[in-house]
Structure 1
Amino acid sequence: MAPAPLLAAACLACTLAMFGTGLSDLRQMLATQSVENIQFLPFLATDANNLGWLGYGCLKRDPTLVAVNAVGAALNTLCVLVYLRYSPHKRRVLLRSLALLAPLAAGYGYACRYRPPMDPAQPGQDRYRPSQAAPGTDPL
């Protein structure tokens, strides 16, 4: 096996294992029906991170980014929802979630609305690096 695919597979496995670290907290919340001694911010921050990378992967049409971050976003969204279900302070949890996710949604909406057009004849091209860019210029 070539080194690049082997490294990609190892990174994919480590990333998915990292997303699974919240499962013990999820199991504890479900068993005790309480969020006592469980931090909310790591779930929310990781969820926002996954959703951001998922959106980026969709814009770039990168199946690896989409697959990995879809799994992470699903697991962390589940943790956020279970935390919300058992939290006695639902309003505070919702406000924190909205405060973090609203700019993410606005940025994704902006990127979708104002992205440069793509040539349908080149399905793998990068949206943000047009193939006809002037020499010496880099839009990113």
Structure 2
Amino acid sequence: MSASTSAADGAAGACCGGLSRRAVLAGGGAGAAALVLAACSPGGTGDVQITPPATAATVAQLAEVPVGGAVSATLPGGAQILVTQPTAGDVHVLSAICTHMGCGVVPGQGDLECPCHGSTFDLAGKVTHGPAKKPLQTLTATVKDGQVVVGG
């Protein structure tokens, strides 16, 4: 091993306050994992409640919500919701926050799925497979002139 190689290795290892490249990469991976976990669980539980808007807001066009399915939507203010239509004309607006650990729930094939831990919910928000134990929060909605409206 030459002196120039040792000096280069020492310089590479001296970056980031004397930490080795391996330590920096390992720390970065741990930091990224912490960010993913933090994003997955606000406060560590699924007890987050969505507040309906004070004034009526259209969240979807009924024609865009498949019968036997769901679409994702956003309330004014940014809260994520799901609009479902289990049978023709039977519309539900649900929080897209899983009641297990607060992850985002998405439309599945005839159900609603939490990709973080595998919970599933029916199109009315009831738990069909855990680990979630509580149903999704339901928001009061009406259908007016082909529009799904929440709040007000």
- TM over 0.5: same fold? no
Instruction: Report which of the two has the higher share of helix.
Output: 1
Structure 1-normalised TM-score?
0.28
Structure 2-normalised TM-score?
0.26
Instruction: Report which of the two has the higher share of strand.
Output: 2
